[in-house]
Structure 1
Protein backbone atom coordinates (compact mmCIF):
# COMPACT_ATOMS: atom_id res chain seq x y z
CA UNK A 1 0.00 0.00 0.00
CA UNK A 2 1.31 3.44 -0.95
CA UNK A 3 0.96 5.65 2.12
CA UNK A 4 1.66 8.77 0.01
CA UNK A 5 4.42 9.93 2.36
CA UNK A 6 7.21 10.66 -0.11
CA UNK A 7 8.94 13.98 0.56
CA UNK A 8 6.95 14.50 3.75
CA UNK A 9 9.02 16.15 6.49
CA UNK A 10 9.11 14.72 10.01
CA UNK A 11 10.61 15.32 13.43
CA UNK A 12 10.96 12.31 15.74
CA UNK A 13 12.28 12.79 19.27
CA UNK A 14 14.51 10.04 20.68
CA UNK A 15 14.85 8.45 17.27
CA UNK A 16 18.25 6.77 17.51
CA UNK A 17 17.29 3.49 19.20
CA UNK A 18 14.35 1.28 20.18
CA UNK A 19 10.88 2.37 19.08
CA UNK A 20 12.21 5.70 17.86
CA UNK A 21 14.73 4.04 15.54
CA UNK A 22 12.01 1.78 14.13
CA UNK A 23 9.91 4.88 13.42
CA UNK A 24 12.80 6.68 11.71
CA UNK A 25 13.67 3.62 9.60
CA UNK A 26 10.04 3.16 8.54
CA UNK A 27 9.80 6.82 7.58
CA UNK A 28 12.94 6.62 5.49
CA UNK A 29 11.60 3.53 3.74
CA UNK A 30 8.42 5.49 2.95
CA UNK A 31 10.47 8.28 1.34
CA UNK A 32 10.16 10.82 4.14
CA UNK A 33 12.81 13.32 5.23
CA UNK A 34 13.55 12.99 8.94
CA UNK A 35 15.18 15.01 11.71
CA UNK A 36 15.72 13.45 15.10
CA UNK A 37 17.33 14.06 18.45
CA UNK A 38 18.54 11.67 21.10
CA UNK A 39 20.58 11.77 24.30
CA UNK A 40 22.72 8.82 23.13
CA UNK A 41 25.45 10.20 20.87
CA UNK A 42 26.74 6.73 19.96
CA UNK A 43 23.29 5.64 18.82
CA UNK A 44 22.89 8.83 16.80
CA UNK A 45 26.09 7.96 14.95
CA UNK A 46 24.50 4.72 13.66
CA UNK A 47 21.70 6.54 11.81
CA UNK A 48 21.84 6.81 8.01
CA UNK A 49 23.62 9.89 6.71
CA UNK A 50 20.37 11.29 5.31
CA UNK A 51 18.90 11.77 8.79
CA UNK A 52 19.29 15.22 10.33
CA UNK A 53 20.32 14.79 13.95
CA UNK A 54 21.43 16.48 17.15
CA UNK A 55 22.26 15.27 20.62
CA UNK A 56 19.59 16.68 22.95
CA UNK A 57 18.44 16.05 26.50
CA UNK A 58 14.70 16.66 26.09
CA UNK A 59 14.42 17.70 29.75
CA UNK A 60 16.53 20.75 28.81
CA UNK A 61 13.94 23.26 27.57
CA UNK A 62 16.41 25.53 25.80
CA UNK A 63 18.13 22.66 24.00
CA UNK A 64 14.87 21.03 22.93
CA UNK A 65 13.26 24.19 21.59
CA UNK A 66 16.49 25.10 19.77
CA UNK A 67 16.55 21.65 18.17
CA UNK A 68 12.92 21.93 17.09
CA UNK A 69 13.49 25.35 15.51
CA UNK A 70 16.67 24.10 13.79
CA UNK A 71 14.98 20.95 12.47
CA UNK A 72 12.05 22.86 10.98
CA UNK A 73 14.44 25.28 9.30
CA UNK A 74 16.63 22.47 7.92
CA UNK A 75 13.62 20.49 6.70
CA UNK A 76 12.10 23.57 5.09
CA UNK A 77 8.85 23.11 6.99
CA UNK A 78 7.10 20.32 8.84
CA UNK A 79 4.36 17.79 8.09
CA UNK A 80 4.69 15.30 10.94
CA UNK A 81 5.78 15.52 14.56
CA UNK A 82 6.30 12.33 16.58
CA UNK A 83 6.89 12.85 20.29
CA UNK A 84 8.60 9.60 21.19
CA UNK A 85 11.04 10.59 23.96
CA UNK A 86 10.51 9.02 27.35
CA UNK A 87 12.06 7.24 30.31
CA UNK A 88 10.84 4.44 32.54
CA UNK A 89 11.22 6.47 35.72
CA UNK A 90 11.73 4.93 39.16
CA UNK A 91 10.32 1.58 40.25
CA UNK A 92 9.34 2.07 43.89
CA UNK A 93 6.47 2.53 46.29
CA UNK A 94 5.06 6.04 46.32
CA UNK A 95 6.54 6.88 49.73
CA UNK A 96 10.02 5.97 48.47
CA UNK A 97 10.00 8.05 45.28
CA UNK A 98 12.20 11.15 45.33
CA UNK A 99 10.67 14.42 44.15
CA UNK A 100 13.56 14.91 41.74
CA UNK A 101 12.79 11.55 40.06
CA UNK A 102 9.10 12.45 39.84
CA UNK A 103 9.87 15.79 38.18
CA UNK A 104 12.45 14.31 35.81
CA UNK A 105 9.97 11.70 34.59
CA UNK A 106 7.27 14.28 33.93
CA UNK A 107 9.75 16.64 32.27
CA UNK A 108 10.94 14.00 29.81
CA UNK A 109 7.68 12.15 29.18
CA UNK A 110 5.14 14.99 29.20
CA UNK A 111 6.65 18.48 29.27
CA UNK A 112 8.92 17.70 26.31
CA UNK A 113 5.79 17.07 24.23
CA UNK A 114 4.31 20.42 25.20
CA UNK A 115 7.55 22.13 24.19
CA UNK A 116 7.91 20.50 20.76
CA UNK A 117 4.26 21.02 19.89
CA UNK A 118 4.31 24.67 20.90
CA UNK A 119 7.34 25.28 18.65
CA UNK A 120 5.93 23.23 15.74
CA UNK A 121 2.35 24.43 15.40
CA UNK A 122 3.12 27.38 13.14
CA UNK A 123 4.99 25.17 10.67
CA UNK A 124 2.35 22.43 10.80
CA UNK A 125 -0.36 24.94 9.92
CA UNK A 126 1.46 25.49 6.60
CA UNK A 127 1.39 21.78 5.73
CA UNK A 128 -1.27 20.14 3.55
CA UNK A 129 -0.95 16.93 5.61
CA UNK A 130 -0.17 17.92 9.21
CA UNK A 131 -0.10 15.40 12.04
CA UNK A 132 1.17 14.97 15.58
CA UNK A 133 1.57 11.60 17.24
CA UNK A 134 2.39 11.50 20.96
CA UNK A 135 3.77 8.39 22.62
CA UNK A 136 1.75 7.38 25.64
CA UNK A 137 1.55 3.84 27.05
CA UNK A 138 -1.00 1.27 28.08
CA UNK A 139 0.03 2.50 31.56
CA UNK A 140 -1.73 5.72 30.57
CA UNK A 141 -5.00 3.82 30.40
CA UNK A 142 -4.86 1.17 33.15
CA UNK A 143 -2.30 2.51 35.64
CA UNK A 144 0.86 0.82 36.86
CA UNK A 145 1.67 0.01 40.50
CA UNK A 146 5.23 0.91 41.60
CA UNK A 147 5.55 3.10 38.49
CA UNK A 148 3.40 6.07 39.46
CA UNK A 149 5.51 8.88 37.90
CA UNK A 150 5.56 7.05 34.56
CA UNK A 151 1.85 6.21 34.63
CA UNK A 152 0.87 9.73 35.69
CA UNK A 153 2.92 11.25 32.86
CA UNK A 154 1.47 8.86 30.30
CA UNK A 155 -2.09 9.65 31.43
CA UNK A 156 -1.12 13.29 31.00
CA UNK A 157 -0.03 12.60 27.42
CA UNK A 158 -3.53 11.38 26.59
CA UNK A 159 -5.09 14.50 28.11
CA UNK A 160 -2.66 16.67 26.15
CA UNK A 161 -3.42 14.76 22.96
CA UNK A 162 -7.19 14.98 23.21
CA UNK A 163 -7.07 18.68 24.10
CA UNK A 164 -4.74 19.45 21.19
CA UNK A 165 -6.93 17.52 18.78
CA UNK A 166 -9.83 19.84 19.64
CA UNK A 167 -7.72 22.99 19.65
CA UNK A 168 -5.81 22.30 16.43
CA UNK A 169 -8.56 20.59 14.48
CA UNK A 170 -9.71 23.89 12.99
CA UNK A 171 -6.26 24.14 11.40
CA UNK A 172 -6.55 20.63 9.97
CA UNK A 173 -3.89 19.27 12.32
CA UNK A 174 -4.77 15.80 13.58
CA UNK A 175 -3.36 14.68 16.91
CA UNK A 176 -3.27 11.13 18.27
CA UNK A 177 -1.58 9.12 20.99
CA UNK A 178 -0.10 5.63 20.72
CA UNK A 179 -0.28 3.30 23.73
CA UNK A 180 2.28 0.50 23.44
CA UNK A 181 2.11 -2.51 25.73
CA UNK A 182 4.98 -4.91 26.43
CA UNK A 183 7.45 -3.92 23.73
CA UNK A 184 10.32 -6.16 22.68
CA UNK A 185 13.75 -4.80 23.59
CA UNK A 186 16.22 -3.92 26.32
CA UNK A 187 14.08 -1.18 27.86
CA UNK A 188 11.18 -3.52 28.62
CA UNK A 189 13.56 -6.11 30.01
CA UNK A 190 15.09 -3.53 32.36
CA UNK A 191 11.61 -2.52 33.57
CA UNK A 192 10.72 -6.11 34.40
CA UNK A 193 14.10 -6.70 36.02
CA UNK A 194 13.59 -3.65 38.26
CA UNK A 195 10.15 -4.89 39.27
CA UNK A 196 11.51 -8.37 39.99
CA UNK A 197 14.19 -6.88 42.23
CA UNK A 198 11.66 -4.64 44.02
CA UNK A 199 9.38 -7.60 44.71
CA UNK A 200 12.07 -10.17 45.47
CA UNK A 201 10.91 -12.36 42.57
CA UNK A 202 12.63 -13.92 39.59
CA UNK A 203 12.50 -12.29 36.16
CA UNK A 204 10.56 -15.29 34.84
CA UNK A 205 7.88 -14.88 37.52
CA UNK A 206 7.40 -11.19 36.80
CA UNK A 207 7.35 -11.75 33.05
CA UNK A 208 4.76 -14.53 33.35
CA UNK A 209 2.56 -12.30 35.52
CA UNK A 210 2.79 -9.47 32.99
CA UNK A 211 1.58 -11.69 30.15
CA UNK A 212 -1.22 -13.13 32.29
CA UNK A 213 -3.29 -10.03 31.55
CA UNK A 214 -2.46 -9.83 27.82
CA UNK A 215 -4.51 -11.67 25.18
CA UNK A 216 -1.66 -11.93 22.66
CA UNK A 217 1.15 -13.33 24.76
CA UNK A 218 4.05 -11.94 22.80
CA UNK A 219 6.18 -8.85 23.04
CA UNK A 220 5.05 -6.12 20.63
CA UNK A 221 7.73 -5.48 17.97
CA UNK A 222 8.76 -1.85 17.55
CA UNK A 223 7.98 -2.17 13.85
CA UNK A 224 4.27 -2.67 14.64
CA UNK A 225 4.21 0.64 16.48
CA UNK A 226 6.06 2.37 13.65
CA UNK A 227 3.55 1.02 11.12
CA UNK A 228 0.64 2.48 13.09
CA UNK A 229 2.37 5.86 13.31
CA UNK A 230 3.02 5.94 9.56
CA UNK A 231 -0.65 5.29 8.86
CA UNK A 232 -1.62 8.18 11.15
CA UNK A 233 0.90 10.42 9.40
CA UNK A 234 -0.38 9.51 5.94
CA UNK A 235 -3.27 11.17 4.08
CA UNK A 236 -5.14 7.89 4.63
CA UNK A 237 -5.31 8.79 8.34
CA UNK A 238 -6.74 12.22 7.71
CA UNK A 239 -9.91 11.66 9.73
CA UNK A 240 -8.30 9.92 12.69
CA UNK A 241 -7.75 12.46 15.45
CA UNK A 242 -8.12 12.73 19.20
CA UNK A 243 -7.60 9.00 19.60
CA UNK A 244 -5.62 7.00 22.18
CA UNK A 245 -4.71 3.94 20.09
CA UNK A 246 -3.44 0.86 21.89
CA UNK A 247 -0.81 -1.33 20.21
CA UNK A 248 -0.58 -3.73 23.11
CA UNK A 249 -1.95 -7.17 22.24
CA UNK A 250 -5.03 -6.37 24.35
CA UNK A 251 -3.34 -5.70 27.68
CA UNK A 252 -6.04 -5.38 30.33
CA UNK A 253 -3.82 -4.75 33.35
CA UNK A 254 -0.22 -4.01 34.25
CA UNK A 255 0.65 -6.08 37.30
Structure 2
Protein backbone atom coordinates (compact mmCIF):
# COMPACT_ATOMS: atom_id res chain seq x y z
CA UNK A 1 0.00 0.00 0.00
CA UNK A 2 1.11 3.55 -0.70
CA UNK A 3 2.67 5.07 2.42
CA UNK A 4 1.25 8.55 3.07
CA UNK A 5 2.59 8.94 6.60
CA UNK A 6 3.68 12.49 7.32
CA UNK A 7 1.28 14.00 4.78
CA UNK A 8 -2.00 15.83 5.41
CA UNK A 9 -4.89 15.34 3.01
CA UNK A 10 -7.83 17.73 2.74
CA UNK A 11 -11.00 16.12 1.38
CA UNK A 12 -14.08 18.16 0.52
CA UNK A 13 -17.53 16.66 0.81
CA UNK A 14 -16.04 14.37 3.43
CA UNK A 15 -19.15 13.85 5.53
CA UNK A 16 -20.71 11.07 3.47
CA UNK A 17 -20.51 8.88 0.40
CA UNK A 18 -17.43 9.15 -1.78
CA UNK A 19 -15.80 11.76 0.43
CA UNK A 20 -15.99 9.52 3.48
CA UNK A 21 -14.71 6.53 1.50
CA UNK A 22 -11.79 8.55 0.08
CA UNK A 23 -10.94 9.85 3.56
CA UNK A 24 -10.95 6.31 4.93
CA UNK A 25 -8.61 5.04 2.21
CA UNK A 26 -6.21 7.95 2.70
CA UNK A 27 -6.27 7.47 6.46
CA UNK A 28 -5.51 3.74 6.12
CA UNK A 29 -2.54 4.69 3.94
CA UNK A 30 -1.18 6.80 6.81
CA UNK A 31 -2.24 10.34 5.93
CA UNK A 32 -3.58 12.78 8.49
CA UNK A 33 -7.02 13.92 7.37
CA UNK A 34 -8.92 17.17 7.27
CA UNK A 35 -12.46 16.53 6.08
CA UNK A 36 -14.75 19.42 5.26
CA UNK A 37 -18.39 19.83 4.36
CA UNK A 38 -21.53 21.67 5.39
CA UNK A 39 -22.85 19.30 8.09
CA UNK A 40 -20.81 19.32 11.29
CA UNK A 41 -22.53 16.25 12.76
CA UNK A 42 -21.84 13.93 9.82
CA UNK A 43 -18.28 15.22 9.52
CA UNK A 44 -17.62 14.48 13.18
CA UNK A 45 -19.07 10.98 12.78
CA UNK A 46 -16.81 10.21 9.82
CA UNK A 47 -13.74 11.66 11.55
CA UNK A 48 -14.39 9.49 14.61
CA UNK A 49 -14.39 6.35 12.45
CA UNK A 50 -11.12 7.07 10.63
CA UNK A 51 -8.19 4.92 11.77
CA UNK A 52 -5.73 7.83 11.93
CA UNK A 53 -5.60 11.46 12.96
CA UNK A 54 -8.47 13.51 11.58
CA UNK A 55 -10.05 16.94 11.89
CA UNK A 56 -13.56 17.87 10.80
CA UNK A 57 -14.21 21.47 9.72
CA UNK A 58 -17.35 23.07 8.36
CA UNK A 59 -16.93 24.76 4.98
CA UNK A 60 -19.19 25.58 2.05
CA UNK A 61 -16.84 25.20 -0.92
CA UNK A 62 -19.11 27.31 -3.13
CA UNK A 63 -18.77 30.29 -0.80
CA UNK A 64 -15.62 32.39 -1.19
CA UNK A 65 -15.64 33.69 2.39
CA UNK A 66 -16.12 30.19 3.80
CA UNK A 67 -13.17 28.84 1.81
CA UNK A 68 -11.02 31.77 2.91
CA UNK A 69 -11.84 31.03 6.55
CA UNK A 70 -10.89 27.40 6.03
CA UNK A 71 -7.57 28.40 4.52
CA UNK A 72 -6.89 30.68 7.49
CA UNK A 73 -7.88 27.94 9.97
CA UNK A 74 -5.35 25.64 8.31
CA UNK A 75 -2.59 28.21 7.97
CA UNK A 76 -0.32 26.18 10.26
CA UNK A 77 -1.19 22.87 8.62
CA UNK A 78 0.85 21.69 5.64
CA UNK A 79 -1.86 20.43 3.31
CA UNK A 80 0.01 18.46 0.66
CA UNK A 81 -2.95 16.52 -0.78
CA UNK A 82 -6.17 18.23 -1.87
CA UNK A 83 -9.08 16.09 -3.03
CA UNK A 84 -11.90 18.16 -4.47
CA UNK A 85 -14.74 15.71 -4.08
CA UNK A 86 -17.65 17.95 -3.07
CA UNK A 87 -20.38 17.94 -5.67
CA UNK A 88 -24.10 17.74 -6.25
CA UNK A 89 -26.06 15.76 -8.81
CA UNK A 90 -28.53 18.46 -9.74
CA UNK A 91 -31.89 18.02 -11.46
CA UNK A 92 -33.01 15.11 -13.63
CA UNK A 93 -35.00 16.87 -16.35
CA UNK A 94 -34.93 18.09 -19.92
CA UNK A 95 -32.79 21.18 -20.37
CA UNK A 96 -35.83 23.27 -21.25
CA UNK A 97 -37.40 22.36 -17.90
CA UNK A 98 -34.36 23.28 -15.79
CA UNK A 99 -34.42 26.56 -13.90
CA UNK A 100 -31.54 29.01 -13.89
CA UNK A 101 -31.19 28.65 -10.11
CA UNK A 102 -30.88 24.86 -10.45
CA UNK A 103 -28.23 25.24 -13.14
CA UNK A 104 -26.27 27.81 -11.14
CA UNK A 105 -26.34 25.70 -7.97
CA UNK A 106 -24.72 22.75 -9.75
CA UNK A 107 -21.95 24.91 -11.21
CA UNK A 108 -21.45 26.75 -7.92
CA UNK A 109 -20.62 23.56 -6.05
CA UNK A 110 -19.05 21.39 -8.75
CA UNK A 111 -16.97 23.99 -10.59
CA UNK A 112 -16.66 27.16 -8.52
CA UNK A 113 -16.03 25.04 -5.42
CA UNK A 114 -13.13 23.29 -7.13
CA UNK A 115 -11.77 26.62 -8.35
CA UNK A 116 -12.00 28.26 -4.92
CA UNK A 117 -10.34 25.36 -3.11
CA UNK A 118 -7.50 25.19 -5.64
CA UNK A 119 -7.00 28.94 -5.47
CA UNK A 120 -6.85 28.80 -1.67
CA UNK A 121 -4.46 25.86 -1.19
CA UNK A 122 -2.28 25.75 -4.29
CA UNK A 123 -0.05 28.75 -3.43
CA UNK A 124 1.46 26.97 -0.42
CA UNK A 125 2.07 23.82 -2.49
CA UNK A 126 3.73 25.84 -5.23
CA UNK A 127 5.90 27.61 -2.66
CA UNK A 128 7.00 24.26 -1.20
CA UNK A 129 7.55 22.82 -4.66
CA UNK A 130 5.40 19.74 -4.01
CA UNK A 131 1.79 18.67 -3.67
CA UNK A 132 -1.03 16.69 -5.22
CA UNK A 133 -4.49 17.82 -6.28
CA UNK A 134 -7.10 15.29 -7.37
CA UNK A 135 -10.36 16.67 -8.72
CA UNK A 136 -13.36 14.36 -8.91
CA UNK A 137 -15.12 14.59 -12.25
CA UNK A 138 -17.22 11.86 -13.87
CA UNK A 139 -17.41 9.76 -17.00
CA UNK A 140 -20.72 11.57 -17.48
CA UNK A 141 -18.67 14.62 -18.39
CA UNK A 142 -17.41 12.80 -21.48
CA UNK A 143 -20.41 10.90 -22.81
CA UNK A 144 -24.10 11.69 -23.32
CA UNK A 145 -26.34 11.45 -20.28
CA UNK A 146 -29.82 12.61 -21.19
CA UNK A 147 -31.69 14.88 -18.78
CA UNK A 148 -28.53 15.65 -16.77
CA UNK A 149 -27.11 18.64 -18.66
CA UNK A 150 -26.03 20.75 -15.65
CA UNK A 151 -24.17 17.82 -14.09
CA UNK A 152 -22.46 16.63 -17.27
CA UNK A 153 -21.49 20.15 -18.30
CA UNK A 154 -20.06 20.87 -14.85
CA UNK A 155 -17.98 17.71 -14.85
CA UNK A 156 -16.54 18.47 -18.28
CA UNK A 157 -15.64 21.89 -16.88
CA UNK A 158 -13.76 20.21 -14.02
CA UNK A 159 -11.78 18.12 -16.52
CA UNK A 160 -10.88 21.25 -18.48
CA UNK A 161 -9.92 23.11 -15.31
CA UNK A 162 -7.67 20.23 -14.26
CA UNK A 163 -5.81 19.81 -17.54
CA UNK A 164 -5.08 23.53 -17.80
CA UNK A 165 -4.15 23.94 -14.14
CA UNK A 166 -1.69 21.06 -14.44
CA UNK A 167 0.34 23.11 -16.91
CA UNK A 168 0.23 26.16 -14.65
CA UNK A 169 1.56 24.49 -11.51
CA UNK A 170 3.27 21.36 -12.82
CA UNK A 171 6.60 23.16 -13.40
CA UNK A 172 6.58 23.98 -9.66
CA UNK A 173 6.36 20.32 -8.72
CA UNK A 174 2.61 20.14 -8.05
CA UNK A 175 0.61 17.40 -9.75
CA UNK A 176 -3.03 18.01 -10.70
CA UNK A 177 -5.14 15.12 -11.99
CA UNK A 178 -8.75 14.14 -12.46
CA UNK A 179 -10.46 10.96 -11.32
CA UNK A 180 -13.63 10.26 -13.30
CA UNK A 181 -15.77 7.56 -11.69
CA UNK A 182 -18.61 5.91 -13.49
CA UNK A 183 -21.86 5.26 -11.66
CA UNK A 184 -21.08 4.62 -8.00
CA UNK A 185 -23.41 2.38 -6.03
CA UNK A 186 -24.99 4.29 -3.17
CA UNK A 187 -27.68 6.72 -2.09
CA UNK A 188 -27.03 9.29 -4.83
CA UNK A 189 -27.46 6.82 -7.67
CA UNK A 190 -30.51 5.31 -5.99
CA UNK A 191 -32.02 8.80 -5.92
CA UNK A 192 -31.22 9.33 -9.58
CA UNK A 193 -32.80 6.01 -10.51
CA UNK A 194 -35.98 6.97 -8.63
CA UNK A 195 -36.10 10.33 -10.40
CA UNK A 196 -35.51 8.74 -13.80
CA UNK A 197 -38.22 6.16 -13.08
CA UNK A 198 -40.69 8.91 -12.21
CA UNK A 199 -39.79 10.85 -15.33
CA UNK A 200 -40.01 7.87 -17.71
CA UNK A 201 -42.88 5.96 -16.08
CA UNK A 202 -40.74 2.91 -15.38
CA UNK A 203 -39.27 1.40 -12.20
CA UNK A 204 -36.05 2.26 -10.34
CA UNK A 205 -34.81 -1.28 -11.00
CA UNK A 206 -35.37 -0.86 -14.74
CA UNK A 207 -33.63 2.52 -14.70
CA UNK A 208 -30.64 0.99 -12.90
CA UNK A 209 -30.48 -1.98 -15.28
CA UNK A 210 -30.48 0.31 -18.31
CA UNK A 211 -27.74 2.43 -16.79
CA UNK A 212 -25.32 -0.36 -15.83
CA UNK A 213 -25.84 -2.12 -19.16
CA UNK A 214 -23.56 0.54 -20.63
CA UNK A 215 -20.60 -0.72 -18.57
CA UNK A 216 -18.33 -3.56 -19.68
CA UNK A 217 -18.53 -5.12 -16.20
CA UNK A 218 -22.31 -4.57 -16.15
CA UNK A 219 -22.18 -3.06 -12.70
CA UNK A 220 -21.47 0.15 -10.85
CA UNK A 221 -18.19 0.81 -9.11
CA UNK A 222 -18.11 0.99 -5.32
CA UNK A 223 -17.18 3.82 -3.00
CA UNK A 224 -14.31 1.72 -1.66
CA UNK A 225 -12.95 1.31 -5.20
CA UNK A 226 -12.98 5.07 -5.69
CA UNK A 227 -11.13 5.58 -2.40
CA UNK A 228 -8.53 2.99 -3.40
CA UNK A 229 -8.10 4.69 -6.79
CA UNK A 230 -7.28 8.03 -5.13
CA UNK A 231 -4.54 6.38 -3.08
CA UNK A 232 -3.22 4.59 -6.16
CA UNK A 233 -3.06 7.85 -8.11
CA UNK A 234 -0.90 9.35 -5.38
CA UNK A 235 1.66 6.59 -5.95
CA UNK A 236 2.05 7.51 -9.63
CA UNK A 237 4.60 10.29 -9.34
CA UNK A 238 4.95 10.93 -13.07
CA UNK A 239 1.26 11.55 -13.66
CA UNK A 240 0.07 15.13 -14.15
CA UNK A 241 -2.83 16.52 -16.16
CA UNK A 242 -4.34 13.05 -16.52
CA UNK A 243 -7.98 12.02 -16.41
CA UNK A 244 -8.38 8.52 -14.97
CA UNK A 245 -11.54 6.57 -15.74
CA UNK A 246 -12.89 4.29 -13.03
CA UNK A 247 -16.14 3.23 -14.57
CA UNK A 248 -16.39 -0.57 -14.69
CA UNK A 249 -15.87 -0.11 -18.42
CA UNK A 250 -18.49 2.59 -18.96
CA UNK A 251 -16.27 4.36 -21.48
CA UNK A 252 -15.70 1.13 -23.41
Report the 3-state secondary structure (helix = DSSP H, G, I; strand = E; otherwise coil) of the residue aligned with 1:16. coil
> Which residue of structure 2 aligns with residue 6 of structure 1?
5
Shift of 1:4: 2.8
How do residues 1-255 of structure 1 correspond to structure 2 at under 5 angstroms?
1=1, 3-49=2-48, 50-71=53-74, 73-75=75-77, 77-127=78-128, 129-233=130-234, 236-252=235-251
Structure 2 contact 14–36 (Cα < 8 Å) conserved: yes
Distance 1:133 1:217 in 2: 27
Consecutive unaligned residues in structure 2, runs of 5 or more: none
State whether residues 216 and 249 of structure 1, in contact with CA within 8 Å, keep that contact through their aligned partners in structure 2: yes
Larger mean CA deviation between 103-112 and 50-59 belongs to: 50-59
Alignment RMSD: 1.5
Q: CA deviation at 1:48?
A: 3.1
Change (3 A) 1:202 1:231: same
User: What displacement does 1:193 show?
Assistant: 1.0
Show CA shifts across 1:111-164 (max 9, x none): 101001011112112446411000000111113210100000000000000001
Gaps of 5+ in 1: none
Conservation of the 8 A alpha-carbon contact between 1:79 and 1:127: no
Tell me the TM-score normalized by structure 2: 0.94
Q: Which runs of 4+ in 1 moved over 3 A?
A: 126-129
Q: TM-score, normalised by structure 1?
A: 0.92
Count of aligned pairs: 248
- Report the CA distance between 1:229 and its aligned residue: 0.9
